[in-house]
Amino acid sequence: MKRCSATHCRAPVAKGQLFCGAHWAQVPERTRRAIHGAWRARDTQAYAEAFDAARNAIDLADGTFEDVMAPPPSRWIVPQHLGAAR
Ligand SMILES: [Zn+2]
């Protein structure tokens, strides 16, 4: 069984889902779109960045960020070129 990717969450998730419903709801809209766009574009680099941004957003919302070094906020901004051909 696959589990939610949030740092301290053990909730089971369906195949193809990254986070449980509660945590996905905490991911900013633009980050969700970035994940989907990178997935469709088969852009693994952008996908990894968007995934990190999503998990960081969840960890901040959860207040469980204490043992993780937060990247500077500028790193969280999703690249505008995401989804474009490389
Ligand atoms: Zn979760």
The predicted pLDDT at position 81 comes to 57
The predicted pLDDT at position 86 comes to 47
Residues 6 or more apart whose CB falls under 8 angstroms from that of 71 comprise 52, 56
The predicted pLDDT at position 7 comes to 82
pLDDT tens for the chain, residues 1 to 86: 899 998 888 899 998 899 999 999 999 999 999 999 999 999 999 999 999 999 999 988 877 554 445 555 555 555 555 554 44
> Cα(78) to centroid of ligand 1, in Å?
22
Asked whether the CA dihedral 23, 13, 39, 5 is positive or negative, the reply is positive
The predicted pLDDT at position 26 comes to 92
For the chain, the domains span 27-76
Q: Which two tokens stand for residue 79?
A: 């690249």
> Cα(7) to centroid of ligand 1, in Å?
8
The predicted pLDDT at position 60 comes to 85
- What residues have their beta carbon closer than 5 A to ion ligand 1? 4, 6, 9, 11, 20, 23
